[in-house]
Structure formats: structure tokens, C-alpha cells
Structure 1
């Protein structure tokens, strides 16, 4: 069975074609700058063939046509016919309280995803465009499945997901914590239990998805009991260009002083803050790391803040879990920035965490494994995430049950 996994953004469309017989990636690519004249399409196969073209893709349907043509292209294709695609799996950011698990796409499901656009305007709108474009290009005979970023967090109890604002806003607008990166937290938590040879239900685990967008989750009895992102992916701790949690009065104070509209304030909090805002260098941690090593004081401060906030969240979740058996690092920073992992580990010695410096330095660029010492009371792992594989597995399971 071959499954096409889709992650549609407002101006991009990433894809992977996965052969479920051995879970290998046959091809992957990206449609960038959709809706602009100078769109970029890149396609790579598992045996090293590549296609890279500048092409106009006015909408997601045009982008899907590029994907379809590349998959069956005589030179860079991996399929003889599109009939070989058994199903399509879509990543959806916001499932709200409507979707607690992956589901088969039908008109009612599309309506449900559309109804959640106010909670994730950029993401869910693009996802719906992606689903509709996919149906247009591949036809209705190919089953489509949607997998939600929020679903894994749907096990949180009300004491963790409710905000202490008037209850009527929860009733009227469903304002609550939803959490994101659920597909990643789900993959690494299950993979960690597998590596440990234990049942996930027997572990108290803290998973740290640290990338340009970051979140931490507390997992007990195989279920999420709390997570750092909230109503939107802006909540939690400092990220590449996002603030994370801050005193709400900071928002109203700056808005009044600078005469900023809510839209402009949202742009500032989401796109101009975090490591970019503090360092003045970049939202990319590699650039901030270079600047910090060169002695840039604001870059050094940005790193100190990031490491401090992550350490604080892990400590809070160890308290929420009443203990911790294992901590997992994943995503761009979590998988590759050993210096952050070392500093964070050094701040958790009271929990009994001991990082092995050599193992930590070696565990980068796609490697997975233990980075704590044999006598560390809490095990610490680095596990590269694989959200596409989770989407493909869910899609396969649902389609096979039809």
C-alpha cells in the first residue's frame, strides 16, 4: 500500500509518498510560494533523482497537479500510474473539541474543519484548500484521511485545559487549551517506550518538541495530562519568533503606548518576538548560536532565556506528573543542538538527571538513543520525530477498515 502524506500551508504544500510495506519514503517534495508568480517546486526520490523548477502555481490545485505529474514523470517519477496511490493522509493543525482522533474525509468532516478556522485561521483554511484540491486532482475514488495535531492532547483534564477567565467565553467561543505538535509527541512517546522495552502506560514521560515552534507535553498512563501550547501555538515558552507565555498586561500596555491594532499586535507576538526579538539576529537557532559564540550579548541572553524557560517547564511537568521516568528531546533544536540539552540537563540534577557529555555530543543529525548516564535517575533520550509516518499509519489503519 502506497500512501501520499500532505501538509498544506497557506502558500506551501509539502508531501511524502510512503510505501507502507516497509514504511520507506519513495519520494518527497515541496511546493513553495503558491499564489505567487515565482513558485518553487522541488521533488526528490529515495534513489537520488531530483526535480527543481520555478513554476507559477496560482492555487493548491495547481500545486497538486505538479505533485501528480512528478510522481508519474518518466525521469523523476516513482509510480507507473496514479492508481498505485491507495490513499491520501492530511495533517490538520486544529481539531478543536470536534475531533479527538483521525477520521476519513467526507463533506461533514470538511465542514467541521472549516468551522474551526477562527481558532487557526492560517492553518485550517489552507488545510481545507489542500483537501479540496486533492479531491479535484485525484478524484473521489481515492480515500482521504485527516490527522489532527490537537488529537493526542484531547485526554487533558479540564483543570489543565481551562483558562481562569469568565466561563462564558469557553461556552461561547470554546476558548481553552488545545495544544499542538500532538502527532510528534505521539510518535516520540511511543518510540521511546519501544526503545526502553516498556509499556507507555507504565511511564511518566516529558516530551520536548523543540523547533522554530516548540512545545512540551506531560504524559502519564499513555495519555497527555498537560501541554505547553494553548488556544493557539503562541502559548508556552519562547520560540524562534513567538513569545510563548507572558503577562497579558504586556500586550495591552504596548498596544496603548504604540497605538497598535490587534492584528499588528498578533503579528508582533507571533513573528517578531522570541529569539528573533531578543537577539535581533534571527529566528533560526543556528544563526543565534553562531552570534552567541562570537560574543553577541543579546544572542547569549536569548539562549539563556530559552534554556531557562524549557528547564522551568520540565520542572513544572515533573511536579504535575508527581515524578518523571524519562525526558525526550525531538525536532530541529531538540535533535541537533547538544549545547541546549546539556544546559537543560544540568538544571535538572535535583530530579536525578545526569547527561553523558560524549553521548550528548554524538546524538545529532538523525541519530536516536540515550544521552543520560547509567546512574541517571531519569532517562534522557533524543528521538528524531516522524509526523509523516504517524499520518501514514493512521491513514492505512482507517482505509484498511473500510
Structure 2
């Protein structure tokens, strides 16, 4: 499809209790409409799994577009945030029935990002237009040696905030007049979850995620296994309790009773030494992950990017810089560009600039 034939792209980015939608038009140069739909948390909790929320969210999305009088016939494609399907690579995939069914499986890790594929396909398919996912959370190309865990039955899969990491790497490379594929990056996305990845040739070759990397506002990160085993079998914690400690009630929340970075930053400014020590510990862990990932790049690190919402947290950023500034240049790029990245990736696929993968 030539660029001149391309009309609008609908971007869908589901979160745990929200769904962001944006319509990009005129070859991704203008935003025609955008909205962050906040769902009733109690209603969301009533669904037995993530996939069962699809129809509920789809109706709301279509109602929003209908309310502004948008004609769906103007769409050239629909793209959703990539989900938790194992075995995906970086880049874009056209959603087919096989992917749809796999992404809807209750056996997958239950993460709202999987709804991106389900919603995009269910809206696009009746209109006979393509639907895509782009830079899935699981879209890594780990080195074979990075997959080895120390337990033969378990292989590391790699889960990172690839979408924003690639977008910020491209943005930085462009600012210095280079192709991001010719540079070595360590990207650190810091939000409710924190993931760090090593990127070489535009591909993530190793990672540190929420279950084996640094702690985050609501996630434990990697913890000592012998102590964790004791908690698992102490008779006080259920499997659900342990899952929540890993993701939901771990990290800063476990120590400080809140995962709100703005609130914690205020506590530190008001002289709360304990809160300051816990945040410094998180920054220290992030720095250690960055240092560890520099090994797979053989120490040749062109740029360390600190991004995501927590990159606005000055004390945290200063702590990370303190402990790993010797590794390479650190670029602080707060926030995220996920919607723009999804649209840009889709445009590259529609124009033939980038390969369209398919299961």
C-alpha cells in the first residue's frame, strides 16, 4: 500500500483499568482524536480473565467514536498494544485468527496488553482492513546464553517495555544524526513496573524485568530465592498472595504502603529518611541492572536512556546516575510515546518500509 492511499490509523492501548485510543491521520502527522477511557474498576474486577473484557471495552470504544461522528470507513488499519504471547519478536505482526485465539488464552500471563490484539482484530476484521500489534512486551531477541537460567526446565523469555524503549532510542539517535540500529543502548523504562534492556542492532538481546530485575513501585523484582521459598511454604501465604507480592503489592508499596511516586517524593522532601533510603535502594537496583546488561554489549554502550513516568522523579534519577554514570552517557527522556510509536510502526508496515510478520 502506498503512503498516499493511507488514511487514518486507530491506535488502542489497554491498561489495567483504562483504554487509551487515538486516531492518527494524514500519514501519522496529525492527531484527529484521542481519549483515555477510564473504566469502572469494580466492573473490570468482575471479569474472570483479561480476554473476557474484550466486548465490554469494544462497545465503549465504538461508542466514543460514534459520539464524535467518526466514520470508521476512514480507517486504513487498527493497531493494538502487543500482548503477553510467548515467542514473539520485536516489530509488527498482522493479527490473524491464530494470533487472536492464542492471545485470548487464559493460560497466558494475565496482562491488559493482550487486549490490544483482541480489540484491534475485532474492530478491523468486519471492515476488511488489517489489524496489527507492534513491539509486544514479549518481543525480544535474547541471546541464547541470556536464556539460560540455571534450571534446565526454565528458560528466560524476556519481557520489557519494548514499545517505549524503541521509540525513545529512535528519537535519541535521530537527535544525534545516527540510525538507532547502528547504536548500542541500555533502555530503562520506569513506571508502575521497571524493565531494563540491552539493545543492539535495534533488537533487545538481554533484559532485566519485574521478576528478575530491579524492584518497582508495585513489583518486587528479583529477590533471594531461599527466602522467597520460605514465604511460599510458611502456611500463611497463598499462591495468590505470592503473585501479588511479585506484581501488585511488592516494591515500594511493600515498604511504604503506597505506589504513588508523587506522594513518596513529597515524603522525602519533608524529611522522611526511611522513604529516601527505600527509593535509593530501588535506584541502586536499577543501576546494578544497567551495569549487568552492559556486559552483553561488551561495555560498548552509546547511551543509557532513562524513560517512563518515574524519569520525572529527580531523586531517583540522581541515584541511578550516581551509581552507573561510569558506564556511559545517560539521557533522561521522561514520559512515554507509546501511542505515537504504535502509529509510526503501523505506518512503516503499510508503506513497506518495515516487514509485516505473521504467526
SS in 2 for 1:188: helix
Q: Does 1:66 align with 2:60?
A: yes
Shift of 1:290: 0.9
Partner of 1:204: 184
2:337 pairs with 1:391:
no
Counterpart of 1:217? Answer: 197
Is the 1:183–1:387 contact (alpha carbons within 8 Å) kept by the matching residues of 2? yes
Length-normalised TM-score, structure 2: 0.84
Question: Which deviates the most, 15-24 or 180-189?
Answer: 15-24
What is the aligned partner in structure 1 of residue 13 from structure 2?
7
**Aligned mate of 2:306, from 300, 323, 329:** 329
Which of 300, 305, 319 is the equivalent residue of 2:276? 300
Match of 1:94 among 65, 84, 99: 84
Q: What pairs up with 1:168-247 in 2 under 5 angstroms?
A: 169-170=153-154, 175-229=155-209, 233-247=210-224
Q: 1:205 to 1:10 in 2, by over 3 A?
A: closer
**Shift of the alpha carbon at 1:181?**
0.7
Aligned counterparts of 2:247 and 2:281: Cα–Cα separation in 1: 17
Measure, in 2, the Cα distance between the counterparts of 1:187 and 1:239.
22
Count of residues paired in the alignment: 340
Aligned CA distance change for structure 1 residues 142 and 36 (closer, same or farther; 3 Å): farther
TM-score, normalised via structure 1 length: 0.75
Q: Secondary structure at the match of 1:320?
A: coil
Show the counterpart of 2:237: 260
Please, what is the CA RMSD of the aligned residues? 2.8
- Cα distance per residue 1:303-334 (max 9 Å; x no partner): 11111111212222223322222111111012
Is structure 2 residue 140 aligned with structure 1 residue 160?
no
Distance change >3 Å, CA 140–CA 248, structure 1 → 2 = farther
Aligned-partner Cα distance in 2 for 1:38–1:247: 34
**For 1:309, which of 267, 285, 298 is the aligned residue?**
285
Rounded to whole Å, the distance in 2 between the matches of 1:21 and 1:35 is 35
Any gaps of 5 or more consecutive residues in structure 1? 40-57, 354-377
The aligned counterpart of 1:118 is 107
The offset of 1:131, in angstroms, is: 4.3
How far off is 1:62 after superposition?
Answer: 4.2
Distance, in Å, in 2 between the alignment partners of 1:9 and 1:319 is 33
Q: Distance in 1 between matches of 2:182 and 2:43?
A: 53
